[in-house]
Amino acid sequence: MANGGARKWGTEIGAAADIEQVRDRRLRELLERIESEPLQKIQDCALAFKLSQSHLQHLFKQATGVGLGHVLYERRLQRAAKLLRSTDMSVKEIAGAVGYRHSSSFTRAFERRFNRAPLHFRSESGVH
C-alpha cells in the first residue's frame, strides 16, 4: 500500500474501502474485529488467528503500511474522543472504558494524540 494509504489507516481505521484492499482474509477479519471491538490487544489477536505476535505484526504492517499496535492505539483513542464528545462520563470512567488501567496514562496518551487534555477536548466539543 502506498504512503497515502498508510496515512489513511492511522485516521480511518477499518473503513470499508481499506479493508477490501487487504488481500489476506485473516487480516481483513482482524480489521473488522478492530472496528467492532476496539479494546483488543496484539496478544489476543495473535491467539485468535493462531499466529505468533511477531508474525501477525509483520503481516499486518506488510499489508497496510502501518503497525498493528499503532492501529489499536489509534482506535482506542478515537473511541475515547467519541465518548468525551457524546457522554458526560468522567475521564477516569472513559480511561477504563477504552482499556487504560490508570487515568494518568490515558491522559498522557490522549494529550500526545490530540494535543490537548481530555477535559479541554470535551469543552471545545461543547459537551459539559
Sign of CA dihedral 83, 89, 93, 97: negative
Q: What percent of the chain has a predicted confidence (pLDDT) above 90?
A: 55
User: What does the domain layout of the chain look like in residue ranges?
Assistant: 3-73, 76-125
Show the cell assigned to 127.
459537551
Within 10 angstroms of residue 90's Cβ, the number of other Cβ atoms is: 12
Mean per-residue pLDDT, 98-103 = 92
Mean per-residue pLDDT, 104-121 = 96
Mean per-residue pLDDT, 10-36 = 68
- Band the pLDDT of 17: cuts 50, 70, 90: very low
> Which helix or strand (DSSP H or E) is residue 93 part of?
helix 91-97
Q: Is 68 helix (H, G, I), strand (E, B) or coil?
A: helix
Mean per-residue pLDDT, 7-25 = 55
Position 97 scores a pLDDT of 93
- Band the pLDDT of 112: cuts 50, 70, 90: very high
Q: 76-125 falls under which CATH superfamily?
A: Homeodomain-like (1.10.10.60)
For the chain, what is the mean pLDDT? 83
**DSSP string covering 13-56:** TT-HHHHHH---HHHHHHHHHHHH-TT--HHHHHHHTT--HHHH
Mean per-residue pLDDT, 73-83 = 93
Q: How far apart (Å, rounded) are the C-alpha atoms in residues 111 and 118?
A: 7
Q: Is 91 helix (H, G, I), strand (E, B) or coil?
A: helix
Q: Is 11 helix (H, G, I), strand (E, B) or coil?
A: helix
Instruction: Identify the weakest region by mean pLDDT among 6-20, 33-47, 108-122.
Output: 6-20
Position 105 scores a pLDDT of 96
